[in-house]
């Protein structure tokens, strides 16, 4: 009886005008931003929403050029509207414009409603699941590491000054799988808490904490997902606002806080059961989707650094370099002599970096035939540029390559550099450091 009376009291509460206006704007803005979730969250439902994204891919670039003087192109289908690009920026501008117009029109036409409590609770429900889906996506790729790669040979041999700010941040996060998994577990836990109405506030607080770090790292290290991360942080804060007075009383004013009265979204008994089942199916679906996607990513892109996965893995420094039967001295002005070869990669593909005498780096995809002792280099900058070398190993440390490179006959002897010479690779956790 008390719950029913409290529910009627909630629906009868009158919101002040500014709150009603702000709600109308947020309602429209968040719906446009999140739509068509959850249909774009699963592979088997993506064909259903593809026509919508095809429309966006034509409409947004057109509006970007006509209204905002931005050159927007389609780069990542079904993700461009969230990306740090002219497309993503134009989508945000357009969303702000539409939300402003609709909220003003809504305010002028609807002056009867004293509050929008029920719509507000439906919006919270929608945002809870939207946010949980991204938390699972962000979290599980850290629990099953694939988002940040290990500090491998190519990164160990790279100078700090050669790294982009984003790569520097990725190296920091990728160095410790323990720290990575802890961050991932925090994100997953926040997502799980958001699935339940009673634990939404604590889940939103944890989510806001997580995304505060993500947003700070994205802005400080130039990671190009700032728009998405900022929106996820804003949504987390929006979900916290319902209990803002209770949080203020408990944490700042040392006052008691009353229990929250939840307005029932569905009242009829049969519809309520159906509604609960649909919620459970969606919750389990986004949870399983996050896990399965992360496991697939770990298998395909997680770095498994060992000799079996990556033949000839390591850093090789040139001892001698013969071009067209002439031994080339190690001059810093030579644009063809190899100074170093780095062979790296993961479960899905090998990669290689040739550092020339001038310090310039050339990037290649590598295929190694350990039976025929052949290594093929294909330029990442020009796929038509490909070179084949026969190789042999001596004493497990010396690599001899023979072949044609840029129309020159090449023979080089390279010595494998011990990765333990890199402090970052050698030094492990020590409880006591003296």
The C-alpha atoms of residue 78 and residue 137 are separated, in whole angstroms, by: 16
pLDDT classification of 376: cutoffs 50, 70, 90: very high
More confident of the two residues 112 and 349: 112
384-408: pLDDT as tens digits = 899 999 999 988 889 999 999 988 9
In the chain, list all ranges with CATH 2.40.128.280. Answer: 314-423
What mean pLDDT do residues 299-322 have?
78
44-103: pLDDT as tens digits = 898 999 999 999 999 999 999 999 999 999 888 878 788 899 999 999 999 999 999 999
pLDDT classification of 3: cutoffs 50, 70, 90: very low
Longest Cα–Cα distance in the chain: 96
Does 284 score more than 60 pLDDT? yes
Single pTM value for the model: 0.90
Q: Which CATH class is domain 314-423?
A: mainly beta
What are the phi and psi torsion angles at 303 (to 5°)?
Answer: -85, 120
Nearest to 356 by CA among 330, 394, 378: 330
Per-residue pLDDT at 429: 82
Strand-pair category, 374-379 with 398-405:
unpaired
């Amino acid at each position: 009886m008390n719950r029913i009376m409290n529910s009627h009291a909630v629906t009868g509460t009158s919101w002040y005008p500014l709150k009603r206006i702000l709600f109308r704007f947020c309602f429209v803005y968040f719906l446009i931003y999140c739509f068509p979730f959850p249909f774009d969250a699963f592979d088997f439902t993506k064909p259903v929403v593809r026509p919508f994204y095809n429309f966006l891919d034509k409409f947004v670039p057109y509006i970007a050029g006509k209204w905002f003087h931005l050159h927007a192109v389609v780069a990542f289908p079904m993700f461009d509207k969230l990306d740090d690009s002219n497309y993503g920026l134009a989508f945000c501008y357009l969303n702000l414009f539409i939300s402003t117009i609709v909220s003003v029109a809504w305010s002028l036409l609807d002056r009867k409603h004293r509050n929008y409590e029920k719509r507000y609770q439906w919006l919270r429900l929608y945002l809870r699941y939207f946010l949980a889906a991204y938390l699972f996506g962000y979290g599980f790729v850290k629990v099953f590491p694939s988002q940040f790669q290990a500090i491998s040979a190519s990164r160990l041999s790279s100078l700090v000054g050669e790294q982009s700010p984003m790569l520097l941040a990725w190296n920091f996060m990728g160095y410790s799988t323990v720290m990575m998994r802890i961050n991932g577990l925090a994100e997953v836990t926040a997502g799980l808490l958001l699935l339940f109405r009673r634990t939404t506030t604590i889940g939103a607080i944890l989510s806001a904490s997580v995304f505060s770090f993500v947003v700070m790292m994205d802005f400080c290290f130039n990671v190009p997902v700032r728009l998405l991360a900022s929106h996820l942080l804003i949504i987390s804060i929006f979900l916290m606002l319902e209990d803002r007075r209770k949080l203020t009383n408990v944490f700042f004013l040392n006052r008691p806080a009353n229990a929250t009265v939840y307005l029932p979204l569905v009242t009829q008994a049969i519809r309520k059961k159906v509604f609960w089942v649909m919620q459970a199916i969606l919750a389990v679906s986004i949870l399983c989707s996050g896990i399965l996607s992360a496991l697939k990513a770990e298998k395909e892109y997680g770095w498994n650094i060992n000799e079996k996965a990556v033949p000839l893995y390591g850093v090789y420094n040139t001892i001698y370099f013969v071009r067209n039967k002439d031994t080339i001295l190690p001059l810093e002005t030579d644009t063809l002599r190899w100074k170093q070869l780095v062979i790296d990669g993961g479960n899905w593909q090998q990669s290689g970096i040739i550092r020339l005498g001038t310090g310039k780096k050339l990037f290649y995809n590598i295929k190694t035939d350990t039976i025929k002792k052949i290594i093929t280099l294909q330029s990442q900058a020009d796929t038509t540029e490909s070179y084949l070398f026969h190789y042999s190993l001596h004493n497990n440390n010396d690599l001899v390559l023979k072949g044609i490179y840029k129309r020159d006959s090449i023979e080089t002897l390279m010595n494998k550099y011990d990765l333990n010479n890199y402090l970052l690779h050698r030094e492990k956790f020590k409880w006591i450091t003296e």
